[in-house]
Amino acid sequence: MVLFETAGDKKLETSISKIGSKGVFTEELEIALLNGSIDLAVHSAKDLQSTLPEGLHIIAYTEREQAHDVVVSYNPEFRLAKAEAGAIVGSSSTRRRAILIKNYPHLKLVEMRGNLQTRFKKLEAGEAEAMLLAYAGVKRMGLENFIVENLPLDVFIPPAGQASIALEVAKSLDAEKQEMLTSVCNHEASAKAISMERSFLQAMDGGCSIPVFAHAKIEGETIHFVGGISSLDGKDQIMKDLQLSVTNPDLDIQAKELAIQVLNSGGATILQEIRVALNN
């Protein structure tokens, strides 16, 4: 196993939007895949840019954990709605920050970056009273006892791929190796849902610094899909949804068409305003 530290891991005092919105957590690993120094890269699926570099592809998505966001705090009584005015809440996600600004304007938001251990050290040091994180990451690190609030999926709609692990390889990797990895690691239902989400994201042309959200949930034989974009202050939001049969052969196409609907309904204007704001 080879351990990597990406640009997104190193530059903890710089917001993701200032580092660059695409490949922040993946570029170093993808270079290693292309030059053959590693066979397989393991990512949080939500960290993958919408379009992969030429010569690379995803061969598996692990079974998705619960995809919702949570509030963590060393104060077991902390709640977003009941917190005092000016209470400091940490998050590096523009999506979460936009939702917080809209729904909890009494809170003060601060950047809180780094791996989970680093963020919890910052929380313990008093840099914030609480943080917003993905439930999946908190659970994987065995830190569920710090969860003080589970946030609703219909308000805090997650980004594409949240709560699953993606396996990325070079297309030139031995076909037998690829087939073996896929057969062992890929969870078909999760892969179907996340493929839809990533198709939506690709059509939206959103990166890590853009508050684009997309979530597909399979219930029985139906996929419930919702996707959209929010302004940085949360005041403007364009959201569309659809329901399709899981056997529909055009799920990814339908997701892309929904993204076009979002863009044509005002999403393109929001996207342009965000890019202008982040570049200033």
How many alpha carbons lie under 13 Å from residue 118 in its C-beta half-sphere? 11
Nearest C-alpha neighbor of 79 from the set 111, 106, 97: 106
Rg (CA), the chain: 19
Q: Are 45 and 166 in contact (CB under 8 A)?
A: yes
- Residue 149, both tokens: 């609030």
Q: Are 239 and 228 in contact (CB under 8 A)?
A: yes
Please confirm, yes or no, whether 252 is among the known catalytic residues: no
Of 47, 236, 241, 252, catalytic: 47
Residue 45: exposed, middle, or buried by beta-carbon count in 10 A (0-12, 13-18, 19+)?
Answer: buried
Q: Are 234 and 212 in contact (CB under 8 A)?
A: no
Q: Are 64 and 193 in contact (CB under 8 A)?
A: yes
Supply φ then ψ for residue 46, to 5 degrees.
-70, -15
What amino acid occupies position 96?
R
Residue 232: exposed, middle, or buried by beta-carbon count in 10 A (0-12, 13-18, 19+)?
Answer: buried
By annotation, the residues acting in catalysis are 47
